[in-house]
Every structure is written in C-alpha cells, then in structure tokens.
Amino acid sequence: MTGQSDQSQWRTDTDSLLRKLVSAIPDMLSTYWLSADGESHRFVFISEHVQSVLGIAPEVLRENAEAMFSAVHPEDLPGLKVSVAESAITLSRWHRQARLRMKAGHYDWFEVNSMPERQADGSTVWYGQFHNIQRYKDLERTLRERETESAFQADFQKLIANLSTKFINLGIGAIDQCITELLRAIGVFFEVDRAYLYEFSPDYHVMDNTYEWCSGGVPALIDSQRNVPTDGLEWWQCKINEMVSGNRVIFVEEIEQIPAGPERTTLEQQGVSSMFCVPVRVRGLVTSFFGVSSLRKRAWREDQADLLIIVSGLLSGALERHRLESELLNQSIRDPLTALHNRRYLMPRLNEMLSRASRHGEHFTLAMFDLDRFKHINDSNGHLGGDFCLRTFADILLEQTRETDVVARFGGEEFVVAFSGVSQADVRDTVSRIIRSVRNHNFVFESCVVPLTVSAGIAAIGELNDIPASPDPLIRLADDRLYRAKQAGRDCLVDASGVSRI
C-alpha cells in the first residue's frame, strides 16, 4: 500500500510540475483530438493560460474544442476548418494563421503549428502550439531595442572613458583644447547641432559663452554671446535659479514652450528648436552650464538628462582641476606681498621679447625702479611699514602702466617694468609720471607720514650692439643706470641721455 501511495503521489507531483513548466512557456501548448468521423473534437491538453489570453477555461476545452473555434475570426474560420481536414487526411503538418478573439475583446493574429498522429480507432491527434504573432513581433522588437540600447550604453561608456582619460592626463595649459574636444565628441555622439559652455559671473547677472562646437553648416554664436547680461530675462533668471538652487537640468522640448519674450525671440533667431542646459559645479557652486541644442524637431532619449549630467560631471572635475592648477601656477609667479608678477614670470616674458626683437625687429624697453632709503623706512616704521610702502608703490605702478606692460617685483625694494610697442620717449614720460606720483603721494602708515621717493634706470634693447641670448645684458644696463640715479641724488631717472630730474 505504501508503494502505491508513493507512486500516486509521485505522479501527482510530476503532473503539477509539468503544468507549471508548460504555463511558463509563452505559447499555448496543446494536444488536439478529432474523432474519426469528424463529429467530435476536444483538447486533451492545453496550457492553463489559455484562460488569461483568450478567456476560455481549459476544462471547457477538454470537454469540447468548439469554444476555441468560436473564438476564431469569422473571416478566418472556414479556411482554418479546411486546413484541419486536409491535415487529418494527409497527416501533414497543420500550419495556419488566424485571428483569435482575445479576452479583452479585440482580435490578435495567432499561428498554429502541430504535427498529426493517427490513432488505432481512426481518430487523429495533433501535438503542437498556438503562438501570438504580434506578441512575437513585439518581443523581437524589444530584443532588438535592447541590443541597440546595450550597444548605445557600451558606446557611451567608451566615450566617457576616453574623455576621462584625456582629462586625467590633461597637461597644464591644455584645458581649452580638452573642453573643445569634449564638446565636439558629445555633439557628434548625440547628433546635436551645437554644444557649448557658458560661465556665470559671481552674481549670475552676466553669462559668457567661453566654448562652443557646431556641426557642419551651423553658424557659430560664440562671438555674439560674450558677456551677455541676464538682467531683464525673467524666464531665464528663473531657470538659472533652478540650476543654482536645485541643481536642475533645464530641458526645452519645443521653443514654443517658452513664454513670449526676449529669450524666446533670441532662440528663434538662432534657429534653436530644442535644448538641454546642465549646471556645472566647481567647489560646490554652480559656476557655469553645459548645453546642447538641436535646430530641428527630434526625439530625445528619456535618460538624456542623466547622460548629460555625467558629461557635466566630467567638465566639473576638469574645471576644478584647472582652477587648482591656475591657483598654484599663479602663486608660483606672483609676489605674495604686492600681487605683482615675480622674477619667475618676468624672465620668460623677457626671453619672448628678445625672440621677437631678433626675428621681427620688435624693440622693447626696460625700466628698473628702487625705493629710496628703504632701509631707513624699515628701521623707522618697522617691516610692516615697509610692506605698506611696497604694496602702495605696486598699486601706483599698475595705475600708471598699461595692461600689456609686464610689471614685476624684481626683489626686495626693486621693481621692473618691460614696455613693448612704445617709443623710448613715451617710456621716459611714463617713468617720469611714476616718479612724480610717488613723490606727491601721501604715504601714511599708522598715522605717521612716510616720506618716499623712487629712482629709476631705463635701458632699451636697441641700445645694445647685438640682440643678446638672454635678458641679462639689458637688465645689467638698466641696473647700472639705476645706480647712477642713486648716485645723482635719488628721486630721478637715468636713461641713454643721462640724468633727468622731474
């Protein structure tokens, strides 16, 4: 008894397992039986989910297959019955497409594939399946889309990896080239018309288009988008706040979504159809935004914003590194007391001037200044007083010279200005103004007036017989003339014409 019970239980468990396996198959597996006289038919077996698909209970079909044939579209039913009869006679594969009424009430195309087998009593049994053609098409399309998406993700990851490597290996001074390459690579990858980077002023009232890439035939906008005021751009100011405060990505699917105003007018004039703008953070603050624009209506990816945020992160890291390197470089070439350039910066610039003088005949002039009786100032007012005089004199130098002039602290109380593109007479006038400005300036440190004057020596490259290989001969000549000015009583200049008192 126990053996029979175990065998019965095994069969029950096996049947249950088979039903579960069959139910897991998307097609409706079936065993269809047709009597020898063709008057009776039923499904000996059919997958359980025939009820969820067609709304027909499996037990009904096991009693009579008429419910299945009743679900066939009236236009397809005659041909289906003929194909069953032919298969029963020839015992050839039963293959037919027909529309079946779904549980929801609409019709879908199904394909029947079954192999017949004659039974001893003359009846016929077909073993096969019904599968939903549309479902298979949808599944194939989904698989293709997944393959396409997988390829896209792989290509995007490769792109980001390549750009990351470039930024990691970024050399000092190469930031412009790398950002330009990033914009080009992203523009081509996403098939946009423009990719760009705008920098914000600290108060967000001005934005400056610093980098831009355009696809072929698309006009560049960078020259017309420099230092653009954002005051009066109400809609755009709101979007800037969203980027700054909420780290929001700005997506404009159609320009018509923007309220009528200067922003919409400008974008329409630029031909923009849709765009993304992504904030870029440096040291936790939004300092700029990265954007892409399309000049035609297009479908964007649902995850487009997420992908552009990844790009923005690359830019953020590169700009942060560039900022740190710039600070370190600036510290290395700036005098920490006066904020003027130091000798480390001055000497390469003088070498460049020498090179231009040698190749193109571009003359330049050097003026060396020294604060008179500076040791006495330090002794009388302390080193803080001396530092005050050095900083104030540095400010006077910057006020009296041009941005193109190289102004540097040479060491101690000595300063050098390199003038290019001006005559020796103009240099003499500028140096004279500096000496007068120092003499007339009211140097007051801790309520005490500090009497201060300055002496200067001027030397022009044209005074040397040959262009030297280094700036040393010119510096030596300017220094000698500075010494002569000191010997002549200070508070004066000496150039090729001799001592000049102002």
DSSP notation for 166-183: HHHTPPTT-HHHHHHHHH
Calpha distance 203→217 (Å, rounded): 35
User: What are the phi and psi torsion angles at 221 (to 5°)?
Assistant: -115, -5
Question: Cα 301 vs. chain centroid, distance in angstroms?
Answer: 16
Report the candidate in 371, 366, 401 with the shortest Cα–Cα distance to residue 478.
366
Give yes or no for a contact between 40 and 141, defined as CB atoms under 8 angstroms apart. no
How many residues are there in the chain?
502
Alpha helices in 25-65 (DSSP H): 50-54, 58-63
Q: Find all residues with CB under 8 Å of 374, minimum gap 6, and list them.
A: 386, 389, 412, 413
Phi, psi of 431 (to 5 degrees): -65, -40
DSSP string across 6-25 = HHHHHHHHHHHHHHHHHHHS
Catalytic-labelled residue, pool 254, 413, 414, 463: 413
User: What is the spatial distance between Cα 94 and Cα 126, in angstroms, rounded to a whole number?
Assistant: 8
**For residues 434 and 392, is the Cβ–Cβ distance under 8 A?**
no
**DSSP code for 479:** H
Residue 320 annotated in active site: no
Q: How far is CA 498 from the centre of its chain?
A: 60
- Active-site residue numbers? 413
